[in-house]
Structure 1
Amino acid sequence: MERQTKRRRKTLNSSLQQQIIASSIQTRSKTRSLVIDFYFPDECWEFVFKFLINYGNSDGNNRLYLRCLSFVSKQFLSITNRLRFSLNISNSTRPLLPRLFQRFTNLTSLNLTHFRGDLDALLAEISCFPLNLTSLDLSQKPTIPANGLRAFSQNITTLTSLTCSFTKSINYSDLFLMVDCFPNLQMLDLRYSYDVSEEAVVHVLRTCCNIRHLNLTRCSRVKLRTLNFKVLKLEVLNLSFTRVDDEALNVISKSCSGLLQLLLFYCSDVTDKGVNHVVENCTQLREIDLGGCDKVHANVVASMVHSRTSLRKIGAPPGFDLSDTEKLFLHHGCYVS
């Protein structure tokens, strides 16, 4: 009896094990089937990741999602690598550049603001890699790395945006070098570079025929009075905190009649006369900032809205009261702040 009981138990255990194994195999099969059914090609994942990064992204923090997503799988790592278009280079990341450039194959923008070292040598090193860069940021440097830019431009000819803001010393020859190295520039940012001269900026505008965006904030030596030729493609001009005056605005508005955005924040020498030159000659103007222009009368806002219908945003001068005219301006499709 005992032997028969043991045999029955073994048979039952064996049968139970077979059922468990069969059930496990069936579950795995269903799981694989589901995985196959829910497989997304890389292009779809790229779309999803771009949505996560860009949706509601006002401060750039959403890009941190890339780091989290890259931990999920090798497939996600490969996709997030392709979605990385900018790189900040510091002293700690420089030894890793070969690996980083090999990993992020779609880089278009480099920021060297936080690098403290031999900038000429770094730029020469970067030029040895097959990169299709369009943007370079060299802000907060004591001088312009002339030798490095020459080496950089020999192999990287795709650059269209150059930022050299807060540079302690930029002389005439530095700007000549920039346009010689990068004749296809569309954006040049020289804000808070106090040594920039009028003659050098005029040369930039004459030579770089494709320039669309020029930031001269706090470039106190520049007025652009000597601009005596057409700058057809310039769309955005920032002259905030400069000594530009009515005469200069008359010249600028005739030479740069295609301006879409003109920023004159705290330009204390500008009056109604200069503003009227701009409104009359810049027929496509969409935005103008007159904040802090204490010589511009508040009444000029109403005349601007009515005479230049392309305007969509106005930074009003001091003393302007929006309460009485808000509905009227909004009716014309212009936001006044």
Structure 2
Amino acid sequence: MKRKERTSSVKSSPENRTKRRKRISDFYLPDECWECVFRFIINDNNKSCLNSLSLVSKQFLSITNSLLFSLRVKVKTRPFLPILFERFTNLNTLDLTYFYDDHNLDDLLCQISIFPLKLKSLKLPFGCRFPAYGLQVFLQTITTLNSLTCCAADFCDMDLSPIVDCFPLLEHLELCNTSFNDQHVVDFSLFLSNLVSINLNACRNLTETTLFSLGRNCPSLIEIKMKCTATGEASVGHSDSLVEFGVYPQLKSLYLAHNYRLSDEIIRILASIFPNLELLDLGHCYNISQGISQVLRKCYKLKHLNLTGCLSVKLHGMNFAVPELEVLNLSETKVNDKTLYAISKNCCGLLQLLLEFCYNVTEVGVKHVLENCTQLREINLRYIHCCQKATPWPDDRMPMPTKAAP
């Protein structure tokens, strides 16, 4: 028996087609909404999800293209640059860190210069020969660049004029692990009045003279990183007269960790020169002792202080309020309950206290911190013996607080 064919007249009627289109349009979202959704789910460190999203539809492909702001260029990537630059029109960072072809770096920069990019940041390969010619061509058309990363670069004859010539509006500069000396920094800092942050970590020929020069020559500078340098090794000279150095209130963050010769004398001078510091990193500066109390007194806006590994640091004599301090890292130090008692009385605004490997701390000192620092959100007690019996304080001027009842 022949089966009766079903008719599709109802499905294909103009009225139903109109209703169907209306139902679809009810679920339509404009690009701006999808962009907000994608921004929420994208991890800045892992943009692999963009590939999956771009396969859903042409609309998603267009949106994800506009959300890529950084492009990493390798040797294998170079032939595809015209296509990539045409596809990703909102690029603001060009990362050449893994372009291991030093001889063709100038040619690469010249090639990129022909594209109408609005780049703000450029990262050059680690240990490359500084591409002065390529950058000069590059910046004739790309005039928006204000950030340069050039670590362990080889500057021919230490001629730093290309940096000044190529980047008159430079705001962020990273020159880690180079052979610069103080005079080199003095020379190019004179022409970088817009500089906001500079990273000179592991530049082992630089001393505190560089700090003073940067403060004096760069009026917009708010952050200096000089970890693992020779700060503290040079003779300060007329250290009794701070007029010679001046006062530079613009600086907010100073990173000086692993400067083993840094002394109390130097940090007292730095506190007078940079009175508005909000972050100070002195981790593993072994010669710092009582001078840190004077730093806290002078830098009254300090919010973050790192004293990790400062074995000689002494804070138990602190008898003044430090209301702005929020983060204090005392890990790997010899602080004891007496120190914690002084901290709990004078740093009542603490949000985070780190005490890893502080073997002289007991439950007595911890309880006083918890009682007096009422805003504390985190206290790190890893690898300390809180249950050990407290030892008497050697200085009887501040009596041992009565142990609180459990």
Do the two structures share a fold, i.e. TM-score over 0.5?
Answer: yes
Q: Which is further off, 200-209 or 210-219?
A: 200-209
Q: What letter matches 2:83 in structure 1?
A: R
Q: Distance in 2 between matches of 1:28 and 1:128?
A: 50
Deviation at 1:203, TM superposition (A): 2.1
Residue of structure 2 in register with 1:3 after alignment: none
Q: Secondary structure at the match of 2:79?
A: helix
1:232 aligns with 2:219: yes
Q: Is the 8 A contact 1:253 1:281 kept in 2?
A: yes
Partner Cα distance (1:71, 1:330) in 2? 54
State the AA in 1 paired with 2:35. Answer: E
Distance change (3 Å), C-alpha of 1:78 and 1:332: same
Q: Decide whether the 8 Å contact of 2:176 with 2:200 is kept in 1.
A: yes
Mapping of residues 113-262 of structure 1, within 5 Å: 113-117=97-101, 118-169=104-155, 171-173=157-159, 175-193=160-178, 195-223=179-207, 225=209, 227=212, 229-245=216-232, 247=236, 254=246, 256-262=248-254
Distance 1:239 1:52, change over 3 A: same
Aligned position for 1:266: 258
CA contact (8 A) 1:223 1:244 kept: yes
1:111 aligns with 2:98: no
Distance 1:146 1:210 in 2: 21
Answer yes or no: is the 8 Å Cα contact 1:264–1:289 preserved in 2.
Answer: yes
> Are 1:72 and 2:72 matched, yes or no?
no
Contact persistence 2:73–2:99 (CA under 8 A): yes
**Does the 8 A contact of 1:242 with 1:267 survive in 2?**
yes
Distance 1:307 1:24 in 2: 82
Asked whether the 8 Å contact 2:247–2:274 carries over to 1, the reply is: no
What is the one-letter code of the residue matched to 1:205?
A: S
Equivalent residue number for residue 284 of structure 2:
292
> What is the SS of the residue equivalent to 2:151?
coil
Check conservation: 1:305, 1:334, Cα contact below 8 A. Answer: no
Give the C-alpha shift of residue 85 in structure 1: 0.7
Aligned match of 1:312 in 291, 295, 303? 303
Alpha-carbon deviation of 1:169? 4.6
Match of 2:25 in 1: 36
Q: In 2, Cα distance between the equivalents of 1:204 and 1:256? A: 19
Structure 1 pair 284/167, CA: closer, same or farther in 2 (3 Å)?
same
TM-score by length of 2: 0.71
1:182-213: CA deviation from partner (whole Å, max 9, x where unpaired): 100001101112x2232221122210110011
Letter in 2 for 1:275: I
| 8 A contact 1:171–1:197 mirrored in 2 | no
RCO comparison, higher one (Cα < 8 Å, 6+)? 1
Q: Which whole-Å CA distance do the structure 1 matches of 2:243 and 2:20 have between them?
A: 72
| CA 148–252 in structure 1, closer or farther in 2 if over 3 Å, else same | farther
- 8 Å contact kept, 1:232–1:257: no
Greater helix share, structure number: 1
CA distance in 2, matches of 1:301, 1:334: 20
Equivalent residue for 1:282, pick from 271, 274, 279: 274
Once residues 102 and 113 of structure 1 are traced to their aligned partners in structure 2, the CA distance between those partners, rounded to angstroms, is 22
Shift of 1:277: 1.9
**Which residue among 41, 47, 53 is the counterpart of 1:52?**
41
TM-score, length-scaled by structure 1: 0.84
Corresponding residue number in structure 1 for 2:10: 22
CA distance in 1, matches of 2:224, 2:112: 31
For the residue of structure 2 that corresponds to 1:93, the secondary structure is helix
Deviations 1:243-298 (A, max 9, x none): 1128399799746431111011111121112212222332321111111101101x
Letter in structure 2 aligned against 1:197: N
Where do 5+ consecutive residues of structure 1 fail to align?
1-5
> Does 2:372 match 1:331?
no
- The share of aligned pairs that are identical, in percent, is 34
Change beyond 3 A, Cα 1:255–1:141? farther
Q: Residues 214, 24 of structure 1: CA spacing in aligned structure 2 closer, same or farther, 3 A cutoff?
A: same
SS in 2 for 1:136: strand
